[in-house]
Structure formats: C-alpha cells, structure tokens
C-alpha cells in the first residue's frame, strides 16, 4: 500500500476521476461529479508538476473535493427562485375566487359545478341547478363553494 501511495501518477488520478464520473451517470445526484472533477484536476496538476508528494496530492484532492462540493451546493441554493406562477400544477387553486354555474343541484351539501369543459364535485350550501356559485376553497378534488348574491 505504501509503495502504491508513494508512486501515485497522474494516470491514477485520471482513472479515479473517470470511475467517479461513470458512477455519477448511474444517479448519484451530482455528488460524485464534483469529486470526480477534483480527482481529474489533481491528475492534471500531477502531470504538470510530477514532483508532488503523495501527501500533497491527497491534501489537494480533499481540498478540491470540498471546494467543488461547496460551489455546487451554493449554485444549487442560489438557483432556487420563487415561481411567477405558483399555482401552475395546482389546477384547483386557480379556481378559487372564480364564479361558475351549478351543474347538478347542491343538496345536503353535495353537488356538481361546471368548470370550463369539465364537471367538479362541490360542497356548500344547498343551491339549485343553474345558480351561480363562487369557489372559496378546495379539499382534495372537491371544491368548496358559496352562492353568489
């Protein structure tokens, strides 16, 4: 083992970097990408400066791994932005506040409301068919309505 460590070459670091990058392809979520790039960078440094001791090579690898991982973490954190359309995939949320026509009379708190080209189950006070209601909330796939005055 000591003999291997004392004779680390740039090929060893490039091979390690390649293995880590291949493992990243199988779904490590970005973690091995940066460590693999750090290993490749140490390989390049070892090629340019062949007299680097194995201790310094390992130290460089550790430092570069931490720096690149922190860089990745910082970039991921800064990339998260509030959406300009927060209800994009929440179709029911965009219905709140809108007025629709009762499709099937609301009796005993249950009925159906016509929304665009579809019909949604609704809960609210008893309301006859054809009356207008406003959506005030959502419980799963059931919209909560109140009569429009």
Q: Which residues of the chain have pLDDT under 50?
A: none
- Delimit the domains of the chain by residue range: 2-79, 91-147
Phi first, then psi: give them for residue 91, nearest 5 degrees. -55, -40
Find, among 71, 72, 49, 45, the residue nearest to 60 by Cα. Answer: 45
State residue 89's pLDDT score.
74
> Right CATH number for 91-147 from 2.160.20.60, 3.40.50.300, 3.40.50.620, 2.40.50.140?
2.40.50.140
pLDDT tens column, 48-68: 988 888 888 889 999 999 998
DSSP of 89-114: T-GGGGGTT-EEEEEEEEETTEEEEE
* pLDDT reported for residue 52: 83
- pLDDT reported for residue 1: 57
Contact 65, 13 (CB under 8 A): no
Task: Count Cβ atoms within 10 A of the Cβ of residue 31 and give its class: 0-12 exposed, 13-18 middle, 19 or more buried.
Answer: middle
End-to-end CA separation in angstroms for the chain: 84
The reported pTM is 0.51
Amino acid 74: pLDDT: 87
Both tokens of 19, joined, read 């293995």
Q: Residue 130: what pLDDT?
A: 93
Residue labelled with tokens 């800064």: 78
């Amino acid at each position: 083992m000591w003999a291997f460590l004392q004779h680390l070459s740039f090929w060893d670091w490039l091979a390690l970097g390649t293995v880590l990058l291949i493992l990243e392809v199988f779904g490590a979520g970005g973690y091995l990408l940066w460590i693999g790039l750090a290993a490749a960078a140490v390989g390049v440094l070892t090629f340019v400066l062949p007299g680097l001791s194995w201790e310094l090579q390992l130290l460089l690898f550790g430092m570069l791994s931490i720096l690149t991982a922190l860089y990745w973490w910082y970039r991921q954190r800064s990339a998260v932005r509030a959406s300009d359309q927060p209800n994009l995939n929440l179709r029911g949320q965009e219905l709140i506040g809108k007025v629709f026509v009762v499709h099937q009379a609301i009796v005993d708190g249950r009925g159906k409301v016509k929304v665009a080209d579809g019909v949604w189950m609704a809960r609210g006070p008893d309301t006859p068919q054809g009356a207008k209601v406003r959506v005030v909330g959502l419980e799963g796939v059931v919209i909560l309505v109140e009569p429009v005055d």
